[in-house]
Amino acid sequence: MLIFKRVNSVFLIVAVMAIAMIIFSNFPVWPLLVIIVLWFILTALGSFNIQWNYFLPALHYNAKVTEKCIAVTFDDGPNPKITPKVLNVLDKFNARASFFCIGKQIKKYPDLAKKIITSGHTIGQHSFSHANSFGFFSINKVLDEINDTNQLTVRLLNKKLKLFRPPFGVTNPAIAKATKLSGLTVIGWNRRSYDTVTKSTEKIFKRITHNLQAGDIILLHDTNARCPKVLEQLLQFLYKNDFKLVTVDQLLKIEPYE
């Protein structure tokens, strides 16, 4: 049973007990209010922390990896200014990575999306629109986003994508249901760079390499001008420390396409 279902069951039982005590024994109301507030806080935290697997099962790392491998993933592309630079850096080190692409960006830059694949990298879904309101979409609307992206990738790339990373890493019951119905594998991360909000490339580099372990999955964005430089520093570090960079599907031993 998923965490949120267990939490809901516990909170429901406690809330019913509190209501009964309020009705039958003049129990104060404030404990019930505390219970409700705690439920909202836990639900919000679970929604914004994909690593919790609160609403859905997601894969964040491979603790059982037998080689010294890690995966680097890029979100929000393809971007015509940054993605080619990222691909050049990867090619320079003969490294492979994974790109969670937005459908509308693939539609705008199909040749760039094709280049990602022909260069030996993996592409996964990152919704069609990456709307700021994605976390409030209904099940049907999330399904539309998934289906629109897959129809596009089948037509343009001859690939039906099986890997999905929700925009902003936000999860909820609607996203959980839609990804299950679509047969998608949800991919998270356990090394977040915060490269979209951190201006210093050195800080980003230190954050993603501190206590780096085999099996880790790093999150970067190929929409960020700092990304190519950080990536080059990272790859130098990896090869100096005998790490091997692989695609996320290779790390997790799963299929990326149907």
Are residue 62 and residue 152 in the same domain, yes or no?
Answer: yes
Are 11 and 65 part of one and the same domain?
A: no
Q: Looking at the structure, tell me whether residues 96 and 40 fall in a common domain.
A: no
pLDDT single digits (tens) 47-80: 999 999 999 999 999 999 989 999 999 999 999 9
Quick one: pLDDT band at residue 2, thresholds 50, 70, 90? low
In this model, does residue 117 exceed pLDDT 90? Answer: yes
Distances, alpha carbon 135 to alpha carbons 45, 77, 162, in Å: 13, 20, 20
The reply to whether 247 falls in a domain is: yes
pLDDT confidence tier of residue 10, bands split at 50, 70 and 90? confident
In a domain, 93, yes or no: yes
The rounded distance, in Å, linking the Cα atoms of 256 and 248 is: 9
The string of pLDDT tens digits covering residues 92-112 is 999 999 999 999 999 999 999
What number is the average pLDDT over the span 208-229?
97
Coil, helix or strand for 203? helix
| The pLDDT value given to residue 146 | 98
Return the closest-CA partner of residue 231 out of 187, 190, 188, 193: 193
Active-site position among 60, 75, 76, 222 = 75
Where in the sequence is the domain holding 8, given as residue range(s)?
3-48
Residue tagged active-site, from 121, 126, 130, 221: 221
Is 88's pLDDT higher than 60? yes
Provide the CB-side half-sphere exposure for 199 (13 A, CA). 0
pTM for the complete prediction?
0.93
Q: Would you say 121 and 97 are in contact if contact means Cβ atoms under 8 Å apart?
A: yes
Q: What letters, b where the CB count within 10 A reaches 16 and e where it falls short, cover 114-129?
A: bebbeeebbbbbbbbb
Q: What is the predicted pLDDT for the residue at 6?
A: 87
Instruction: Report pLDDT digits (tens) over 120-143.
Output: 999 999 999 999 999 999 999 999
Averaged confidence pLDDT in the chain = 95
Q: Is residue 53 part of a domain?
A: no
Domain boundary among 13, 29, 48: 48
Task: Say whether pLDDT at 222 is over 70.
Answer: yes
Q: What is the CATH number of the domain that holds 199?
A: 3.20.20.370
Is 83 in the same domain as 130?
Answer: yes
Q: Tell whether 123 and 33 lie within a shared domain.
A: no
pLDDT at 1: 45
- Is the domain of 148 the same as that of 89? yes
What is the arithmetic mean of pLDDT over 206-225? 97
In a domain, residue 144? The reply is yes
Q: Which residues contact 175 (CB under 8 A, 6 or more apart)?
A: 55, 56, 135, 137, 142, 166
pLDDT in tens, 162-190: 999 999 999 999 999 999 999 999 999 99
Angstrom distance (rounded) from CA 235 to CA 179: 32
Catalytic: 75?
A: yes
